[in-house]
Amino acid sequence: MSSEYRIEKDSLGEVRVPAEALYGAQTQRAVENFRVSGLRFQRAFIRALGLIKLAAAQVNNRLGLLSDEQARVISEAATEVADGKWDEHFPIDVFQTGSGTSTNMNANEVIANRALQLLGEELGSKKIHPNDHVNMCQSSNDVIPSCIHLSAYLEVQRQLLPALRHLQATLEARMLDTDDVVKTGRTHLMDAMPIRLSQQISGWASQIRHGIERIEAVLPRLAELAIGGTAVGTGINAHPDFGRLMAERLSELTELPLREASNHFEAQASQDVAVELSGQLKTVAVSVMKIANDLRWMNSGPQAGLAEIVLPALQPGSSIMPGKINPVISESAIMACAQVIGNDTAITIGGQWGNFELNVMLPLIGYNLLQSIEILASTCRMLADKAVAGFRVNRSAIAELVEKNPIMVTALNPVIGYDLAAKIAKTAYATNRRVKEVAAEMSSLSAEELDRLLDPRELTLGGIKGGGTGG
């Protein structure tokens, strides 16, 4: 062995491994074979992998399959992996073998070699064996699907749901302080009947609330773990109680309501739950994109746009136009949401590749699912804190647009009929006059009646105004 490399062996022969690396031959082969993207599994995925190996060591010890000493050092090493101490020793590209075997063996080798260090043994000696001990009662084919579910559940609980609740609460707070603002509603980007700004924001808040409910609805199925099915779902080479005990132990470690998969063949052959969760993430991304784009439109101007609100000025908007301020937070959010939507397409395609007893796009699914969760959570917090919470309402501009809006004549339909109301609106558009003024000339309604029927705030309360039958 040179000063820079050591020699490790696997079933294919000898491999030169960097001398200080905790990983071994199979990881090194994967590093050399899969030079594709430079993308690595996220911290959340490696954490889940470490937790699974920790639980496996403890369960195998409880079942009498590992000695106390073996379980102790494997557990300590796996805990360090879960805690992020050895992340630099997980160098394999996401685009690897479709089962994720390379990453599973990466974990097995790192944990085995670190356990050897804890025993004072030489790296690669295999007194603690990556397959026989660290991977006992397991296969990559049940470990990696379990890791996808576990890491996604942990990150949904840790990051995404709190971020969504924060965005919802921020929107609801803005509802309260904008309830007195009556603005022009818009359909087809064209003027429509007035609404209160609080009503518009309530629609956004409802979108986020439903998004939370959609994601929470997936969690019971995400809680099912494939572990215990081993190679093809039959549980070959695993103790009959291993899957159940693993779910119980992981539940204790994570405080999540995890359970053994009700059908191991489904759990390994398909990734339907990951596809389902991704679909709900996509739906949330569509909601957030709509909110961000509405804010962007409402902020447009300040002279030649809608200029209903003013978003916080966070940075100069142009390298050539002094004084220009752009809606950068909305644009960032929209791009992030587009990425989530794109990830969903990749995950959907990945979910289709469940050939017989194993899905073979597991790394792609796992990576994209975690990325979607992470960037959606960050986007929701960014949008809440840097756009929603701080926008200022341009009350005078909003009020003027409402007063000039001929579409308010719609409220007169029950009193004067659609045809006359349409004539009044057309005349108001053509002469650039207020609808109240034109209606006073073209109908028999008094000024007092028009004030009552065309009161902007009253129009936001719904119902039939007037009480006539038309004519």
Predicted confidence (pLDDT) per residue in 75-121, tens digit: 999 999 999 999 999 999 999 999 999 999 999 999 999 999 999 99
146 is catalytic: no
Over residues 403-449, the pLDDT tens digits come to 889 999 999 999 999 999 999 999 999 999 999 999 999 999 999 99
Strands 358-359 and 182-187: unpaired
Which amino acid, 226?
Answer: A
Rounded CA Rg of the chain: 30
Mean pLDDT of 34-50: 98
- Would the pLDDT of 142 be above 90? yes
User: CA-CA distances (angstroms) from residue 414 to 420, 423, 429?
Assistant: 11, 15, 21
Give the pTM.
0.95
318 is catalytic: yes
Query: Mean pLDDT throughout 378-393?
Result: 98
pLDDT at 376: 98
Residue 441, strand partner residues: none
Q: What is the pLDDT of residue 404?
A: 87
Give the mean pLDDT of 288-305. Answer: 97
Q: What is the mean pLDDT of the chain?
A: 96
Closest by CA to 290, choosing from 209, 204, 212, 376, is 204
As a whole number, mean pLDDT of residues 26-46 equals 98
> Which of the four pLDDT bands, split at 50, 70 and 90, describes residue 467?
low
Which is catalytic among the residues 37, 125, 206, 318? Answer: 318
Question: Catalytic residue among 11, 188, 262, 444, which?
Answer: 188
Per-residue pLDDT at 3: 60
| Residue 469 pLDDT level (bands cut at 50, 70, 90) | very low
Domains annotated on the chain, with CATH? 5-136 (1.10.275.10), 142-227+268-396 (1.20.200.10), 404-459 (1.10.40.30)
Q: Is the pLDDT of residue 470 over 50?
A: no
Q: How far apart are CA 229 and CA 388, in angstroms?
A: 47
User: H or E segment at 183?
Assistant: strand 182-187
